[in-house]
Amino acid sequence: MHAPTSFSQVKQAIASGSTTLPEQVRTYLRNIEDQAQLNVFLEVYADEAIAEAERIQEKMNQGTAGRLAGMVLGIKDVLCHKDHGLQAGSKILHGFKSQFTASAVQRLLNEDAIIIGRQNCDEFAMGSSNENSAFGPVRNAADPSRVPGGSSGGSAVAVQAGMCTASLGTDTGGSVRQPAAFCGVIGLKPTYARISRYGLAAYASSFDCIGPITNTVEDAALLLEIMAGDDGQDSTVSRKPVPEYSKFIQDKAKAAEPKKIGYLRQGLESESIAPAIRAAMQRSIDLLKEAGHSVEPVDFPFIDYILPTYYILTMAEASSNLSRYDGVRYGYRSPHTTDLLSMYKKSRSEGFGKEVQKRIMLGTFVLSANYYDAYFTKAQRVRRLIQQQTEQMLNKFEFILMPAAPTTAFKIGEKTTDPIAMFLGDVFTVQANVAGVPSIALPTGKDESGLPIGLQVMSKNFSEAELLAFAQHFMSLGSN
């Protein structure tokens, strides 16, 4: 069933009278039902979405609707939506309903966006393939035998398969950008602290970012503009003014001005890069040069330390954050208990999946008194070095180009027995999270099997306006 691929197309269709917002919502609902085998949505708010569409259509008729009237969103199952289920892809939160709405979600609702449902994801956002969900894997619409990437796999496939206009995902180490690359859509990870994390079920608090997954750069810019900014509920969010991203990207002449761009040498020359990814990188470099930009190779001296640093720190933070899920106050409680201690142990061992258990245990280990300085403290120091080196690199170059992943989507089950191979899939995305800088994944064609290829562009802190404008320009060059 056909559905418009961008917000502007939805608005044009409604304005022309060729459809109405309730009809558009019903189209998305049919697409969800017809493609149920992809296992994208954990819960669909069908009646609520149609009722909201009817209410907002009336506002549109009267000229009083918000900026997002006509936008139908899916949200990753780690974002709170008051009086709706939240499980973070886990059994441990069985039956839990949110008592409040995440700030980012509420700001979109305030502008008359419609939430159509919550989307499947790796449990507590821990994974790179969406195979770690307690509700089964999500399947890639380009080839259902393959993964969609993770952890925001359901969010990416929903946009890819026309189940909603856009999705909200979260990115801790690439969980918006890598699925976007695998599914041929656009995924934006903003600067850390650009969007409030209030109402986000935490995985690793100093890394987690909320980001949009869309079909167009314009939609990503608009969603970021509305979600970003100061929030009294989150003491870590930035108070920097929020630019009008949606207007900034319209200045095509400025975006096309010659830029100094670096490309990660390892992202082009490494033997681990699939030939199709390497070819897409080279093609993008050539197109940028032809467009008048300066494009030079750059080496990142700490690339071998990024993944170990990321996993040590995120597992430590996960160990701390997930200690609150104990079967006492809410969620799953094991029925096979005899006393308080057994309730804690059994509820957590039965409620958490194997990947989450592994990360909690490793995180607890690196935080233990005997190993805290040997692992956690050293990883924090290396993180600071990575941040400094990234900052220096981005002072020299306005943008850094690199793959979003070393391969295209792999088959379901292919890497589940090889955790190192799975972790290495994040090798190019985690730098932006460790350093806290913004990065965007853009579709750049397909491989020999017809699977989407995504490349990534990174820029300095709080430069989303420039990044989005450049992304729009990059897409216009024909690299996709």
Residue numbers annotated as active site:
76, 151, 175
The answer to whether 113 touches 132, Cβ cutoff 8 Å, is no
**From CA 331, how far away is CA 352, in angstroms rounded?**
11
Element at 162 (helix H, strand E): none
Structure tokens at 148: 């969609």
**Cα 257 to chain centroid, rounded:** 29
Query: How far is the CA of 290 from the CAs of 210, 254, 264, 285, in angstroms?
Result: 34, 17, 19, 9
Task: Give the three-class secondary structure for 97.
Answer: strand
User: Got the DSSP string for 106-159?
Assistant: HHHHHTT-EEEEEE--SGGG--SSS---TT----BTTBTTB---SSSHHHHHHH
Provide long-range contacts, Cβ within 8 A and 24+ apart, for 43-47. 43/84, 43/85, 43/117, 43/118, 44/116, 44/117, 45/84, 45/115, 45/116, 45/117, 46/116
- Nearby residues of 414 by Cβ (< 8 Å), 6 or more positions away: none
Task: Give the strand pairing for 260-264 and 114-119.
Answer: unpaired
The upper half-sphere exposure of residue 417, i.e. CA atoms within 13 Å in the direction of its Cβ, equals 2
* CA nearest neighbour of 240 among 196, 182, 285, 189: 196
Q: Which residue has the tokens 């990947």?
A: 355
Kindly report the backbone phi and psi dihedral angles of residue 78, in degrees, each rounded to the nearest multiple of 5, phi listed first. Answer: -130, 5
Query: How far is the CA of 283 from the CAs of 289, 328, 445, 478, in angstroms?
Result: 10, 55, 10, 10
- Nearby residues of 126 by Cβ (< 8 Å), 6 or more positions away: 132, 151, 203, 318, 355, 356, 359
> Which residues in 337-362 are b (16+ Cβ under 10 Å) and which e?
eeeeeebbebbbeebbbebbeebbeb
Kindly report the backbone phi and psi dihedral angles of residue 195, in degrees, each rounded to the nearest multiple of 5, phi listed first. Answer: -120, 135
Please state the length of the chain: 480
**Cα 12 to chain centroid, rounded:** 27
**From CA 478, how far away is CA 480, in angstroms rounded?**
5
In the chain, the amino acid numbered 141 is A
Query: How far is the CA of 422 from the CAs of 392, 410, 425, 427, in angstroms?
Result: 29, 10, 5, 10
